[in-house]
């Protein structure tokens, strides 16, 4: 093979090597020659589809959270491989990715994925009968898909398969789909919701309290263990989460170290959790040998973990029964700050619960406190079971 020229790249078998100087290119070229003699260099150029599949299985699956892998796998399977999979990895250009992104943002996903066509004939209502529903991806979703390709190509750069990550230079189109407006309850709505659950002795009452008062995520609530709680001291350690990933229900550590925290428990939380402990003991006694639980705070009547989707259904049903606006569990977290203010939780404690870096931000919430009557009604939810607060 001839010596490399002063150009920035040369070929060895199928790989291109890049460098800022001739010496840098020469060193990489020599390294590739040595690998070629050892039989460790591939004999042909991989396609984009082949490389992202390798990246998923060898880089993402062993080193990232299962839900992260599943998300990337969906992006690759649904969006990246169908459009770019056949292209040669080393010949992928910025214009290829830009054109793909532009088309992705403008494409109805119901049409592209045949969502309506998979419904029974009598239930088809849009794309399958010629009435496109224009179910395009939001700008954020388009950005997430681009980020998956960018991450894969960044790894290809590290492996010196390509010299440039072309996805880095792509411009995202303007938002073609209005993002869903975030919702939050007023204190009166949150109070009505919790009072309804408490009155009906709902087994998930304590879970609702933790979502609304502490702003916990659904997975953090469902993955909580009794060992994480010290009800006498009034503290909670957030360490675990429960996630449905494909066909598996995983009880695992929180996604990042930043998600882990030790939180003080307002009285309404400790009261609700004590009630939950009593309920679970009753369930255990009634189930007898059929009881399967060991450490989770929130379980079914037989001690098994609660499916996240079932929690959503219970939340929605409680919204209807309490006659309050239907919002998602995640949106319910946004009510946390004003509830803490209305419960007269000290601002410094609220700052720790809300995980604010700036105390002034916490105090802004406290200026939105509700009327005295509303606050008194809410605080009664935290009363002990044997007497008023």
DSSP state letters, 239-308: -EEEEEETTEEEEEE-SSGGG-EEEE--HHHHHHHHHHHHHHHHHHHHHGGG---SSBSSB-TTSPBPPH
Tell me the C-alpha distance between 30 and 19, whole Å. Answer: 13
Q: What is the mean pLDDT of residues 180-195?
A: 81
Q: Please give the pLDDT value at position 181.
A: 61
Sign of CA dihedral 323, 328, 334, 339: positive
User: pLDDT band at 301, cuts 50/70/90?
Assistant: very high
Q: How far is CA 118 from CA 77, 81, 121, 208, 292, in A?
A: 18, 21, 8, 36, 38
Token pair belonging to 213: 């008062």
Q: Within 10 Å of residue 209's Cβ, how many Cβ atoms?
A: 29
What is the model's pLDDT at position 44?
65
pLDDT winner (highest mean) among 27-31, 87-91, 157-161 = 87-91
Say if CB 287 and CB 274 are below 8 A apart. no
Quick one: tokens of 115?
């969502």
Enumerate residues 6+ apart whose C-beta is below 8 A from 218: 211, 308, 311, 312, 329, 330
Indicate if 187-382 has the same CATH topology as 48-169: no
Q: At what angle do helices 205-214 and 308-322 cross, to 10 degrees?
A: 90
Q: What is the pLDDT of residue 357?
A: 57
**pTM of the shown model:** 0.65
pLDDT band, residue 13 (cuts 50/70/90): very low
Instruction: Output the average pLDDT for the chain.
Output: 80
% residues pLDDT > 90 (the chain) = 44
Distance CA 149, CA 153 (A): 6
How many other C-beta atoms can be found within 10 angstroms of the C-beta atom of residue 377?
17
Supply the pLDDT for residue 315.
95
CA distance 49 to 255: 28
Residue 278 is predicted with a pLDDT of 94
DSSP at 67? H
Q: Which fold has domain 48-169?
A: DNA polymerase; domain 1 (1.10.150)
Residue 195 token pair = 């009072």
The string of pLDDT tens digits covering residues 127-138 is: 989 899 988 998
Residue 47, strand partner residues:
88
374 C-beta neighbours (distance < 10 Å), count: 15
Buried b (16+ CB within 10 A) or exposed e, 273-308: bebbeebbeebbeeeeeebebeebbbbbbebebbeb
Say yes or no to pLDDT of 388 above 60: no
Q: Which of 22-36, 95-109, 283-297 has the lowest mean pLDDT?
A: 22-36
| CATH topology (fold) of 187-382 | hpI Integrase; Chain A (1.10.443)
Helices (H), the chain: 22-38, 48-55, 61-63, 66-75, 81-84, 94-106, 109-113, 139-158, 187-199, 205-214, 218-222, 267-287, 308-322, 329-332, 336-342, 347-354, 359-366, 372-379
Is the pLDDT at 307 greater than 60? The verdict is yes
Task: Over range 201-227, report the average pLDDT.
Answer: 91
Q: pLDDT category, 385, cuts 50, 70, 90?
A: very low
Contact 195, 381 (CB under 8 A): yes
Split at pLDDT 50, 70, 90, the class of 266 is confident
Q: What are 325-382's pLDDT values in tens digits?
A: 999 998 887 777 767 776 666 666 666 666 555 656 555 554 454 555 544 554 555 5
Weakest mean pLDDT among 79-83, 104-108, 242-246: 242-246
What is the model's pLDDT at position 245? Answer: 80
How do residues 169-184 score in pLDDT, each as one tens digit?
999 887 655 555 667 7
Domain ranges of the chain: 48-169, 187-382
Q: For position 6, what pLDDT does the model report?
A: 35
């Amino acid at each position: 093979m001839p010596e490399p020229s002063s150009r920035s790249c040369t070929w060895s078998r199928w790989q291109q090597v890049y460098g800022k100087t001739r010496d840098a290119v020469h060193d990489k070229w020599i390294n590739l020659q040595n690998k070629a003699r050892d039989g460790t260099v591939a004999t042909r150029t991989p396609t984009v589809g082949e490389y992202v599949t390798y990246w998923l299985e060898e880089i993402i699956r062993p080193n990232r959270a299962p839900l992260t892998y599943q998300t990337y796998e969906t992006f690759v399977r649904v969006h990246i491989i169908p459009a770019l999979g056949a292209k040669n990895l080393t010949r992928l250009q910025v214009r290829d990715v830009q054109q793909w992104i532009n088309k992705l943002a403008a494409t109805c996903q119901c049409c592209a994925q045949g969502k309506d066509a998979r419904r029974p004939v009598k239930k088809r209502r849009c794309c399958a009968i010629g009435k496109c529903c224009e179910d395009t991806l939001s700008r954020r979703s388009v950005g997430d898909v681009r980020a998956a390709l960018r991450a894969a190509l960044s790894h290809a750069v590290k492996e010196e398969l390509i010299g440039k990550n072309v996805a880095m230079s792509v411009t995202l189109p303007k938002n073609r789909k209005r993002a869903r407006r975030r919702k939050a309850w007023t204190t009166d709505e949150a109070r009505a919701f919790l009072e309804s659950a408490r009155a009906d002795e709902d087994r998930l009452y304590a879970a609702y309290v933790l979502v609304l008062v502490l702003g916990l995520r659904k997975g953090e609530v469902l993955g909580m263990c009794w060992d994480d709680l010290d009800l006498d001291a009034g503290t909670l350690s957030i360490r675990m989460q429960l996630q449905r990933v494909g066909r598996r229900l995983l009880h695992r550590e929180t996604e990042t170290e930043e998600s882990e925290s030790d939180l003080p428990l307002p009285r309404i939380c400790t009261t609700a959790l004590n009630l939950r402990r009593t309920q679970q003991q009753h369930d255990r006694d009634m189930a007898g040998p059929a009881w399967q639980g060991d450490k989770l705070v929130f379980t079914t009547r037989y001690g098994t973990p609660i499916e996240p989707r079932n929690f959503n259904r219970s939340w929605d049903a409680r919204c209807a029964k309490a006659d309050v606006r239907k919002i998602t569990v995640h949106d319910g977290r946004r009510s946390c700050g004003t509830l803490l203010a209305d419960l007269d939780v000290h601002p410094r404690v609220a700052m720790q619960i809300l995980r604010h870096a700036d105390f002034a931000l916490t105090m802004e919430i406290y200026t939105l406190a509700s009327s005295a009557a509303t606050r008194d009604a809410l605080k009664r939810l935290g009363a002990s079971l044997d007497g008023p607060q």
